[in-house]
Amino acid sequence: MYPIILFAHSVVRWAVLLGAAWATLAALSGLRGRRAWTRRARVPGVVLAAVADVQLLLGLSLWLALSPYAITTGTRSHYWTYAHPLAGIAVVALVHVGSVRARRMLDDAARWRTAARYYGAALVVALLAVPWPLLGMGRSLLPF
């Protein structure tokens, strides 16, 4: 089970990064073009929230049980047991809080601005959370 979930978590990281970039660019373009905040305009944010939730579920199963660095094991790694999971949870929180706050804003410009800020912040934190190959604890860009 561990290799399958780690494989899926590694692949879904690209969906999270692309989804966050798409949702941020769509929000910036909506803001600049003074576009209306329609149901269709919310699609990138909804897709991002869905892939972030999948990544959270995969990450939680690694972190709580499957990984050799899981919080439940004796082998702790500063990066894998603490820093990476916390950064991942922050990404998911930024996406959901941003989506709710954007919806509650009073006008469309404020909705786009809020979405751009939160999704942009989620993208930055996700980029920082990824174990890029050149880093000490780095992993490969693709799991195959």
User: Judged by CB, which is closer to ligand HEM: 38, or 68?
Assistant: 68
Shortest reach from residue 72's CB to ligand HEM, in Å:
11
For tokens 């922050």, name the residue.
90
Shortest reach from residue 34's CB to ligand HEM, in Å:
32
Among 42, 84, 96, 111, contact with ligand HEM (rule: CB under 6 A): 84
Q: Does 37 bind ligand HEM (CB under 6 A)?
A: no
Query: Residues 51, 15: contact at Cβ < 8 Å?
Result: yes
Among 37, 69, 118, 119, contact with ligand HEM (rule: CB under 6 A): 69
Q: How many residues bind ligand HEM (CB under 6 A)?
A: 28
- Integer Cα distance of 40 and 138 in angstroms: 38
The single-letter code of the amino acid at 46 is V
User: Judged by CB, which is closer to ligand HEM: 100, or 137?
Assistant: 137
User: Judged by CB, which is closer to ligand HEM: 31, or 66?
Assistant: 66
- Integer Cα distance of 108 and 102 in angstroms: 9
DSSP string, 60-115: HHIIIIISTT-TTSS---IIIIIIHHHHHHHHHHHHHHHHHHHHHSSSHHHHHHHH
Of 114, 121, 120, the C-alpha closest to 99 is: 114
Query: Where on the chain is the footprint of ligand HEM (CB under 6 A)?
Result: 6, 9-10, 13, 16, 52, 55-56, 59-60, 62-63, 67-69, 80, 84-85, 88-89, 91-92, 126, 129-131, 139, 143
